[in-house]
Amino acid sequence: MSNPADTQARGFRLTLRIVQIVCFTFLAYLVIGMQLAVLPPFVHEDLGFSAVIAGLVISTQYVATLLSRGFAGRTSDTSGPKRAAWIGLQACAASGLLMIVAALLRAWPLASLGAMLLARLALGMGESCVATGCIMWGIGRVGTEHTAKVISWNGIATYGALAVGAPLGVVLVSLGGFVMIGLSAVALMLLAWVLAWRRPPVRVEAGERLPMHRVFSSVAPYGMGLALGSVGFGVIATFITLYYASQGWVGAAPTLSAFGVCFVGVRLLLGWSIAHFGGYRVALVSLLVEAAGLFVLATASHVGVAMLGASLCGIGFSLVFPALGVVAVERVSVSNRGAALAAYSVFIDVALGVTGPLGGWIASGGRYGPMFATAAALSLGAALLTGTLYLGYGKSR
């Protein structure tokens, strides 16, 4: 009979080994989070471009992430996940340098916008390589039986960084102007390089490498559910600042933080539920909660109600990625799971890439309520798809 103290100690050591890797995800997403609350106003108000262009600048990152997912997955499978993560950290540093250039070119709006788009492209590549590399690096250190735990902790690092990064970005801009966003990104990536250099790599899994189209088709149904459920996060991340401004409210950055805190809280408190109840059931409940939060945002009459809606979205969206991701990567062999994770993640990239310009079009003229209502309807569609997959596959497992 195992000693409870020994079991607790083993659990702590396991978590520590995961955290030692996903800390690089935290640092990379801190760079991303610092831009969320300050980039749309900089593009829209300082440079004088429309809300659609502001949304396009945000979505450029997700397009780059989409285009580099295959590279990130195959690099993890063939050269090792540490190599993929290292490349991602370098790309994030390059993005910071380009943001410095964009800030210095503020007097020339088109030139500044061009540098900013290049920065977002570099950041998108960095995101895909760091996210995929760190998850596979963590799984390699603790074993495939802990896949859900690694994905959950990587998500905690992701959205914890977004929660911290949004208000931090506002503070940095108030202290030293927009150039501080780029300078801070470069400093954070230098720290990440020092830490990553000391972490051991993991062995590359031997086995047949499936063509990417076969990997993609295996995870596509789960990825579609992820895509539909990710639109809510996309519209909150991209437009919450402009939404608050249109209503004359203050507190957009704290609302992003509330989303992140709820997201992280659910991962910490309920992450075990995926192994206990199964990915399908957890994803179904999560998507319904997210849809409810988006409907609250769509009909909010004051800032407190809006913050409640964003918090419900954080609670609901928290376990969607790992819950569907666990059942998705199990559809392929271990030697192809980096590619499977990358292919699965493509769907959230597509969703977030479309969300910016489409959401900006729906919200043109200040119509943010219909935008959030549309996202809620898509979350309900994701719940319906997840239920269908459960009836088709989940009950036979």
Q: State residue 206's pLDDT score.
A: 63
Long-range contacts of 200-205 (CB under 8 A, 24+ apart): 201/80, 201/81, 201/82, 201/83, 201/137, 202/80, 202/81, 202/82, 202/137, 202/140, 202/141, 203/80, 203/140, 204/77, 204/78, 204/79, 204/80, 205/77, 205/334, 205/335, 205/337
- Which residues, other chains included, contact 381 with Cβ-Cβ below 8 Å and sequence gap of 6+? 228
Q: State residue 3's pLDDT score.
A: 65
- Distance, in Å, from the CA atom of 168 to the CA atom of 257, rounded to the nearest integer, reads 10
> Please, what are the domains in the chain?
13-396 (1.20.1250.20)
Residue type at 117?
Answer: L
Residue type at 301?
Answer: S
- Distance, in Å, from the CA atom of 159 to the CA atom of 331, rounded to the nearest integer, reads 27
For the chain, how many residues are written? 397
- pTM of the entire structure? 0.77
Q: State residue 94's pLDDT score.
A: 94
Q: State residue 397's pLDDT score.
A: 52
Q: State residue 4's pLDDT score.
A: 64
Digit-by-digit pLDDT tens for the chain (397 residues) are 456 666 667 777 888 899 999 999 999 999 998 887 788 888 877 777 777 787 788 878 878 888 888 888 888 888 889 999 999 999 999 999 999 998 898 889 889 889 989 999 999 999 999 999 999 899 888 887 788 888 888 988 887 787 788 888 888 888 888 889 999 999 999 999 999 888 888 777 766 677 777 888 889 999 999 999 999 988 888 888 888 888 888 888 888 888 888 888 898 888 888 888 889 999 999 999 999 999 999 888 888 899 999 999 999 999 999 999 989 888 877 777 788 888 898 888 788 778 877 777 777 766 788 889 999 999 999 999 999 998 876 555 5
47: which DSSP letter? S
Burial of 167 by CB count in 10 Å (0-12 exposed, 13-18 middle, 19+ buried)? middle
